[in-house]
Structure 1
Amino acid sequence: MMKKTPLEKVRNIGIMAHIDAGKTTTTERILYYTGKVHRMGEVHEGSAIMDWMVQEQERGITITSAATMCLWKDNRINIIDTPGHVDFTVEVERSLRVLDGAVAIFCAVGGVEPQSETVWRQADKYCVPRIAYINKMDRTGANFLEVVNMIKERLGANAIPIQLPIGSENNFKGLIDLVNMVAYFYLDDLGEKIEKREIPEELKEQADEYHHAIIEAIAEQDDNFMHKYLEGEEVSVDEIKNVLRKATLNAVINPVLCGSSFKNKGVQKLLDAILDYLPSPIDMPPVEGLHPKTREVEIRKPNEKEPFSALAFKIMADPYVGNLTYFRVYSGQLDAGSYVLNSTRDEKERIGRILLMHANHREDCTEVGAGDIVAAVGLKTTRTGDTICDINNPVLLESMVFPEPVISVAIEPKTKADQEKLDISLEKLAKEDPTFRVRTDEETGQTIIAGMGELHLEVIVDRLLREFSVEANVGKPQVAYRETITKTVLDIDGKYIRQTGGRGQFGHVVINVEPNEPGKGNEFVDKITGGSVPKEFISAVDKGIKEALESGVLAGYPVVDVKIILHDGSYHPVDSSEIAFKIAGSMAFKSAAEKAKPILLEPLMSVEVIVPEEYMGDVIGDLNGRRGRIERIEPRAGSQIIKAFVPLGEMFGYATALRSKTQGRATYSMQFEHYNEVPSNIAKEIVSKIKGE
C-alpha cells in the first residue's frame, strides 16, 4: 500500500506526440530515473515496459494508453502514455479528458508532424496546459530553433524556449537552463554524470537574449513582476519560475525544453519542469456536472472531504482479473469493496479491488482519493465516459464524444465452431474501444466490424487470435458510405391500413422533409396541432422514421443530415396503434426520400505525404488518379509535403503503392475530414454493384 501524497505534490500528465517522436522511449527513461525500472526498455528491441501488448512490441508503436505512476523528488507523477498513430486518436482524446497537463514531444528533425497537429488541437479543446520537449537532438539534421518556430507557426502556440542545446547531432553535449542561467554537461551514456558549469562564452550572448525573451513573455501575467521588470529591478529565479508556472497553467505560454531521451540527455530536467510548470489537481478549477434528476449544476472541488466523483476513461479486458475499469477521481475518497452509483446509467456498482497501475504489473490499494488515476475490478455496467459517484450525492460529469467509424470489413471464423467464441470476443473488444463497432448484416447474416482505419482493424483481428485464440478470415475493407437528400419535399403521405377481420390497423401521417446542414445530423420536429396524430403515437412515428433512416433508398446506407417535420395525419379511435404509426412513419419517409433527389456521400480523408523531391511527379499523379484534390505542397528538410483530400474508397492499399513508387522512402498519414458527395458516375457504379446489377 503506498503512502498518501499531498495533492499539491501530484501531477497527472499525458505524453503525446506523432508516431516515432520518441514518446515511449522518453517514458521508459522517466521510469528508469524515478527508480521504477532497473533496466531501460528500448522500443526497437521490443522490450519497452509501457508497450505491453504483444502487437505493440512487434510494431514498435503504442496502441493503448498505458497508465503508470512514479515518484520524483517526493512528488507523485501519474503518466498516461498515448498512441501517436492516427487510427488510435480516440485513445488520445479520452486520455486528455482526464489529465491536468501534458508533455508534447517533437522530433528535432521532423518537427511538427501531421499527428502532432491533431493531438495539439485535441489538447486545445480541453485547455490542457502543456510543455514541449524537442527530442532526438543527437540525430543528423536536428535543429532546435527551427522546430520552435514550426510550433509557433503551425500550431499557433506561444512557444518559449526555457533551455538551449549545447551543440547538436553527434556533438550534442548538454543544455543551457535559461531560467537559472547555468549550463549542464552530460559526461556519460546513462545520463547519470551531469556537470553544472558556467554558460560557455560563445553561447552567452544567445542565452542572455533568450533569458530576456522569457521575462518579456511572462511579464504581462503578473503586475508586480511587470512593475519590477519595467523599473529595471532584478527579478529572482523563484519569481521567474512562479510567473512562468502561472502563464503555463493559464495555457498562454508553452515552455520548450530539449534533449535526447535515447542518449539519456535532458530527461531529469524534463521531470523537474513537469513539477515546476505543470498543474497539480488543486491548480485545476473544480469540475462541473449536473444532478442526474434535477439537472441542476453540481460543483465538485478537488479535495477528499467532498462527495466522491470520478470519470471512467478506459475499459480493458484482463486475462487474470476480468474487466479493468480505469478512472480518474475528481473529488472525495473511495474504499475498496464499497458501492458507488453509475449516474450515467442509474445503476449501483460494487468496487471490488482497486489497483494502482504500473504499465504491466499492479499493486492493490485499499482507498483512493481526489487526483488519483487507478483501475478497479468488479464494475459490470460501467463503460468509457461514464460517471461513478457517491450514492447519496449523485452527479453526472460531462461525457466524451467519439467519432463514428469510417471503414468496415466482414469477418468470419475459420471454423464454424468458433462462431460463438468470435461473437463473445468481439463484444469484449467493443466494450474496450468506443470507436470499434460490431453488427450483423441482416441480408447476408455476416458479422461486420467497423473502425477508424486499416491499422485499427488489423490490430483487432490480431488480438482475436492472440488473446482469444480465434482465427478469423477478413473480407475486403468496405467504405462507410452515407446517403442524404438535396431537395425539400412537402406533404408526403404515409398511410398504413390493414383490415383482416376483427381489429384492424390504422396509421396515417403527413411529413415535410428537407436537407439539414452538413454534419448537423438528423432532426425530427413535431408540429402536430389539433391532435390529428394523438400525442401517444408521436414517438412511434419518430421510431419508424429513425428505422427508415438506417437504410437509405439509393443503396441501403444510413441517411444523414435530414430534417423531418411531422405536421398532419389522421387516426382511427379503435384500429390505431403504435405499430401502425411506426410503419406509417417509415413508409412516409421512404416515399419522401425517393422524391427528394437522394445522393451518395463518401468519407473524404485529409492525406499528408512526405516524399523526396525526385518522386514528387509520380506521387502527385497517383493521388490525382485516386480522385485526390491537392491542397498545398510545402518543402521540409530535403523533402516535400503534399497535403491532399482523397476519398477513403480510393486509399485502400495505398501504403503498398506508395512504397513501390518511392522505393520505401515516402511516408503518409491520413485522417477523416468530412463526408462529401460522390460524383454521379461513380455513385451509379457503387449503387449497381450493391444491387447486384
Structure 2
Amino acid sequence: MDVYGTKQIRNVVLLGHGGAGKSTVAEALAYLTGVTKRMGKVSDGNTISDYDKEEIKRQFSISTTMVPIEYQGAEGKVKINLLDTPGYFDFVGEVEEAVSVADAAIIVVNCKAGIEVGTEKAWELCEEYRLPRIIFVTNMDDDHASFRELILKLEKQFGRKIAPFQVPIRENEKFVGFVNAVKMEGRRFTNLSDYEECEIPEYTKKNLGIIRDALIEAVAETSEEYMERYFSGEEFTQDEIYTAVQTNVCQGNIVPVMMGSGINCQGFHALLNAIDRYFPSPDEAGECIGVDVSNGERFTAKYNDEVSLSAKVFKTVVDPFIGKYSLMKICTGVLKPDSTIYNVNKDAEEKIAKVYVLRGKEVIEVPELKAGDIGAVAKLAVTQTGDTIALRTAPIVYHKPKISTPYTYMRYTAKTKGDEDKISSALSKLMEEDLTLRAVNDAENRQSLLYGIGDQQLEVVVSKLLSRYKVEVELSKPKFAFRETIRKKVEAPGRYKKQSGGHGQFGDVKMSFEPSGDLETPYVFEEKVFGGAVPKNYFPAVEKGVQECCVKGPLAAYPVVGIKATLLDGSYHPVDSSEMAFKMAATLAFKKGFMEAGPVLLEPIASLKVVVPDKYTGDVMGDLNRRRGRVLGMNSLHGGKQEIVADVPVSELYGYNTDLRSMTGGIGVYSYEFSRYEQAPGDVQKKEVEARAASLDSSES
C-alpha cells in the first residue's frame, strides 16, 4: 500500500444498530475499490471485517476492524480508513475506541427497520465527539422499504440537520437508481454500483423540489453574500453548492442522507465520492489535545508530519496466531520502521522493527505512516491501549479513549482443577484487547468475578477462552458481600479449660457486647477489669479472639461489623493460663453473646442512577420498587431524558442490565456505586442464612 499524506486521508467509523449492515457496507466499499475479487457475505462468514471465529459463528461483529481502501477521487487518490464497529451494546468499548480516532462517521440505517436504538446511540456518539456524518440507508432493494417514511422519521428524531442528497428511482417496485439532488441529475444502475445518466422520473419531482430547496437554503446561510444572492433570485454554481455543502457537513450543520443496497452492491460509488468530497482530512477535522509532560501545560497541535513524532494507541489486538499489535493514530510527525519510540505513560523506550496497516486479519507492511494515518506496530512489550508514544525529547500525553464502565458481573470457576493459572493468563490477554472486561479476585467471598458490559459479552469471553486458549470456565451467580452485626447489649461468659497431663489450659472471661454505631469498623475493644482478675498481659489475647471471630460471624459466616466488645471480669490460673487459653475463652464468649444480642444480617446498598427517555420512567420506577429499591428523585436531562436516582440492594441488581434493556428497548443505561450497609429484611436474612449453612455444609463434607 502507498504512503499517503495527511490531506489524502479520511478516517471514517461505521456506526449503527446491530444487523443494520455495517460490515456489508465495508465489504461493498472494499470490493468496489479492488481490495477483494468477490464480495463476501456475513451469512457465509467470509467478510473482511468479521474474521474472528466468534464473529463467524454468531454472524455479528464483536471487535472493531480496520479496512483501509484506496479510492481515485476527483482531486487525486485518497486513502479511506474504514473502522467497522460492532452494533450490539455489549461491545460498546470497541465503538468508543474507534470513535476516539475517527474524523467522520457513516451511520448505517436499515430502511425497513427504520430508526433503531443503535441509530440513536450512534447519533449521540457523533454529537459527543462532534463528528461530521452521513446517514447511509441500506436494504433499498426491499420492496417494503419506504425511503420517504424513513426521511420523515429522521427529520422528526434529529431535526433540520437531515438533508437527503438522493431520491430513489423505482420501476416495477424495484430499486433501479436515484436522483442526485445536488446535481439534479438522474442515475440508473447498470452493473453493481456503476450507473448511467437518465431522465428524472415525474413522480420524484415533488419530493425532489422540497429537498433541493432545503439544500439551496443551507448554501445561502453560509455567507451574507450568498444570502443576498439567494433573496435576489440568483442561481448558485455547482462549485459554490459543493463548497457550501462541504463546509456545512464538516461543521455538522448538514447530515446528508444517501442510499443503496448492500446485497446488490448498489449506491456505493456515490458514497465513496461523498466521503472524498465532503468528509474532512485529519488536519481539517480538528486538533490533537494533550498535556506537555515537561511543563504540565495543555498541548495542542494540528496533524502535521513535519514536526516530531507523537501518536496515541487506541486499540490492542492480541491474537494467538498473528501475535500482538498496537493500533495507533499518528498525531504528529512520521512513524518509521527500525526506530526507537518512547512510551510517555510508562516512561519506557521500545524498539519498532516494522510498521503495518491491518485490513481485517491481513497484515500489510508499509514504508511509513504520516500524521493523521492509522496503522499498527507488532510486539510492543509495555505499550497498552490509551498510551501515548512520542520522542523522549518532546514528551506529550494525549487523552485516553473514554471507555464505558462495566457493571454486569458473574462468578467464574475453572471446569478443570489446575487450570487457574492458564485462565488468568488468557483473561489478561483478553483484557488487553477489551478495556470493558475486568477480572476481579473477591478474596472476602473466595470467588473470582468477571465484569463486562452485558451477559452476551461474558458469554463470548467464555467461548473465546475455550476456542483460543483451550481452557473452560463456568459462569454462575456471584455471592454478595453481606455483613453481620448485633442490635442490643448483652453480657456473656467464656471459660476454656483443658487438662491433658502436665500443664493444662485455663482462661476465663466475662464480656459485654453491644452495637458500636460504626458499621465501617469491625469492632472496638475495651477492658474494664478491676483488681487484676485478668492480668494485663492477657488483654491482647482476648482482643485477638474477638478479632478472629469478626472475620467469620456466628450467624452465616460473613464478616462482623459494628461491635463493641468490653472485657469486664474473669479469672486465671497461675500455672495453666496462657494467651491461647484466653483467646479461646474470648472466642466462646463472643459466639454465645453474639447469638443472644439480636444478630442481624446487613446487606450492601448501592446508589443507582438510571438514564432513560421520559416514556420509560414509570416502568423503570415500578421495576426498582419490585427490587426493594427506594427512588430518591429524578433529574431532567437534555434530549427528553430523565435520570432516576435510587438506593437498591446490590443483590437485587443481579441481571439488571438485561431487564433494563428489555424494558427500554436497549436505550436505558445505568451506573451504580456502593453506598452503605443496611439491615436486611427478615425473609431475605432467613433465606440467606439457610443458603449459607447449606453451602458451608456441602463444602465441609
* TM superposition score normalised by structure 2: 0.72
**2:316 match: secondary structure:** strand
Distance apart, 1:321 and its partner CA: 4.3
Indicate the larger mover: 320-329 or 64-73. 320-329
Contact 1:34 1:71 in 2 (8 A): yes
Corresponding position of 2:11: 12
Pick one of 670, 675, 695 that aligns with 1:673. Answer: 670
Q: Quick one: which amino acid aligns to residue 119 of structure 2? A: S
Contact 1:165 1:259 in 2 (8 A): no
Q: Quick one: which amino acid aligns to residue 264 of structure 1? A: C
The structure-2 alpha-carbon separation of the partners of 1:465 and 1:25, relative to structure 1 and needing over 3 Å to count, comes to same
Distance 1:43 1:477 in 2: 36
Residue 91 (structure 2) pairs with residue 88 (structure 1): yes
The structure-2 alpha-carbon separation of the partners of 1:621 and 1:98, relative to structure 1 and needing over 3 Å to count, comes to closer
Distance apart, 1:360 and its partner CA: 1.6
The structure-2 alpha-carbon separation of the partners of 1:289 and 1:644, relative to structure 1 and needing over 3 Å to count, comes to closer
Residue 600 (structure 2) pairs with residue 601 (structure 1): no
The structure-2 alpha-carbon separation of the partners of 1:114 and 1:169, relative to structure 1 and needing over 3 Å to count, comes to farther
Corresponding position of 1:510: none
Corresponding position of 1:160: 163
The structure-2 alpha-carbon separation of the partners of 1:654 and 1:329, relative to structure 1 and needing over 3 Å to count, comes to closer
Q: Quick one: which amino acid aligns to residue 199 of structure 1? A: I
The structure-2 alpha-carbon separation of the partners of 1:176 and 1:479, relative to structure 1 and needing over 3 Å to count, comes to farther
**1:458 match: secondary structure:** helix
Contact 2:325 2:377 in 1 (8 A): yes
Contact 1:352 1:378 in 2 (8 A): no
Residue 135 (structure 2) pairs with residue 132 (structure 1): yes
Q: Quick one: which amino acid aligns to residue 283 of structure 1? A: E
Corresponding position of 1:97: 100
Corresponding position of 1:462: 463
Corresponding position of 1:35: 34
Distance 2:686 2:626 in 1: 22
Distance 2:8 2:622 in 1: 56
**2:308 match: secondary structure:** coil
Corresponding position of 2:418: 417
Distance 2:482 2:8 in 1: 50
Corresponding position of 2:442: 441
Contact 1:308 1:333 in 2 (8 A): yes
The structure-2 alpha-carbon separation of the partners of 1:470 and 1:185, relative to structure 1 and needing over 3 Å to count, comes to same
Residue 180 (structure 2) pairs with residue 183 (structure 1): no
Distance 1:363 1:458 in 2: 32
Contact 2:30 2:67 in 1 (8 A): no
The structure-2 alpha-carbon separation of the partners of 1:443 and 1:249, relative to structure 1 and needing over 3 Å to count, comes to same
The structure-2 alpha-carbon separation of the partners of 1:257 and 1:60, relative to structure 1 and needing over 3 Å to count, comes to same
Distance 1:155 1:679 in 2: 44
Distance apart, 1:279 and its partner CA: 0.8
Distance apart, 1:4 and its partner CA: 2.3
Mapping 1:553-568, distance limit 5 Å: none
The structure-2 alpha-carbon separation of the partners of 1:384 and 1:244, relative to structure 1 and needing over 3 Å to count, comes to same
Q: Quick one: which amino acid aligns to residue 72 of structure 1? A: Y
Mapping 1:235-250, distance limit 5 Å: 235-250=236-251
Bigger radius of gyration among the two = 2
Q: Quick one: which amino acid aligns to residue 670 of structure 2? A: E
Corresponding position of 2:590: none
Distance apart, 1:391 and its partner CA: 1.9
Q: Quick one: which amino acid aligns to residue 467 of structure 2? A: R
Distance apart, 1:402 and its partner CA: 2.3
Distance 2:526 2:312 in 1: 49
Distance apart, 1:363 and its partner CA: 0.9
Distance 1:315 1:250 in 2: 31
Q: Quick one: which amino acid aligns to residue 431 of structure 1? A: E
1:155-201 deviations in Å (ceiling 9; x for gaps)? 4561111111123994222111000111111245xx15522112112
Pick one of 112, 136, 160 that aligns with 1:109. Answer: 112
**1:92 match: secondary structure:** helix
Contact 1:140 1:169 in 2 (8 A): no
Q: Quick one: which amino acid aligns to residue 601 of structure 1? A: A
Contact 1:300 1:306 in 2 (8 A): no
Corresponding position of 2:292: 291
Corresponding position of 2:254: 253
Q: Quick one: which amino acid aligns to residue 671 of structure 2? A: H
**1:116 match: secondary structure:** helix
Identity of aligned pairs, percent?
30
Distance 2:402 2:147 in 1: 36
Residue 337 (structure 2) pairs with residue 336 (structure 1): yes
Distance apart, 1:605 and its partner CA: 6.1
**1:244 match: secondary structure:** helix
Distance apart, 1:224 and its partner CA: 3.4
Contact 1:333 1:369 in 2 (8 A): yes
Distance 2:558 2:170 in 1: 62
Distance 2:681 2:336 in 1: 58
Corresponding position of 1:548: none
Q: Quick one: which amino acid aligns to residue 673 of structure 1? A: Y
Let me know the Cα RMSD of the aligned residues: 4.1
Distance 2:270 2:688 in 1: 59
Corresponding position of 1:351: 352
The structure-2 alpha-carbon separation of the partners of 1:142 and 1:624, relative to structure 1 and needing over 3 Å to count, comes to farther
Q: Quick one: which amino acid aligns to residue 95 of structure 2? A: V
Corresponding position of 2:493: none
**1:417 match: secondary structure:** coil
Distance apart, 1:416 and its partner CA: 1.4
Distance apart, 1:226 and its partner CA: 2.5
**1:457 match: secondary structure:** helix
Mapping 1:247-646, distance limit 5 Å: 247-476=248-477, 600-601=605-606
Contact 2:316 2:324 in 1 (8 A): yes
The structure-2 alpha-carbon separation of the partners of 1:283 and 1:219, relative to structure 1 and needing over 3 Å to count, comes to same
Distance apart, 1:318 and its partner CA: 2.1
Contact 1:24 1:81 in 2 (8 A): yes
Distance 1:278 1:427 in 2: 38
Indicate the larger mover: 111-120 or 50-59. 111-120
Corresponding position of 1:64: 63
**1:374 match: secondary structure:** strand
Distance apart, 1:316 and its partner CA: 1.3
Aligned length: 566
Q: Quick one: which amino acid aligns to residue 138 of structure 1? A: D
Distance 1:168 1:690 in 2: 68
Contact 1:310 1:328 in 2 (8 A): yes
1:352-399 deviations in Å (ceiling 9; x for gaps)? 322111112111123211011111113222222211112211111112
Distance 1:19 1:327 in 2: 26
Indicate the larger mover: 358-367 or 456-465. 358-367
Q: Quick one: which amino acid aligns to residue 474 of structure 1? A: L
Contact 2:104 2:131 in 1 (8 A): yes
Q: Quick one: which amino acid aligns to residue 140 of structure 2? A: M
1:131-163 deviations in Å (ceiling 9; x for gaps)? 111111222432223322333333456111111
Distance 1:682 1:160 in 2: 56
Corresponding position of 2:2: 3
Corresponding position of 1:213: 214
Q: Which blocks of at least 5 consecutive residues in structure 1 are unaligned?
A: 483-488, 505-553, 557-596, 611-617, 632-642, 660-665
Q: Which blocks of at least 5 consecutive residues in structure 2 are unaligned?
A: 484-516, 528-535, 541-556, 560-601, 635-642, 694-701
Contact 1:337 1:353 in 2 (8 A): yes
Distance 2:331 2:34 in 1: 28
Distance apart, 1:680 and its partner CA: 8.1
